[in-house]
Amino acid sequence: SQKIEQNSEALNIQEGKTATLTCNYTNYSPAYLQWYRQDPGRGPVFLLLIRENEKEKRKERLKVTFDTTLKQSLFHITASQPADSATYLCVFSGGYQKVTFGTGTKLQVIP
């Protein structure tokens, strides 16, 4: 079965630096790979989606890359702010029955 691996350890970075989160997957490449943000006790919020044939996607301070050879996606937040502190979920998507959520990486931006 498909597995998604996100670093379970929290990532602490200094305000203003670039945060880079990693998502690795096994087996086949997804048609889409998504990233969501989740704050404690709340539902996830959609951030970005990248397709299998795309290498990079940007939205404001966010950037996602997708390397099907390495079976990896990287999620970058540039000029990070304390308000960016949250858990970020990587989601493997290949259709309704093939949506797999990672366990998430907790990001802490230190002022």
Partner 1 sequence: DGGITQSPKYLFRKEGQNVTLSCEQNLNHDAMYWYRQDPGQGLRLIYYSQIVNDFQKGDIAEGYSVSREKKESFPLTVTSAQKNPTAFYLCASSTRDRGPYEQYFGPGTRLTVT
Mask for 3-22, x = binds partner 1 (CB under 8 A): -x---x--------------
Site size with partner 1, rule: CB under 8 A: 22
CB of 89 to partner 1, least distance (A): 7
Residues 67, 22 contacting (CB under 8 angstroms): no
Task: Enumerate residues 36-95 that contact partner 1 by CB under 8 A.
Answer: 41-46, 49, 89, 93, 95
> By the criterion CB under 8 A, which residues form the site for partner 1?
4, 8, 32, 34, 41-46, 49, 89, 93, 95-97, 99-104
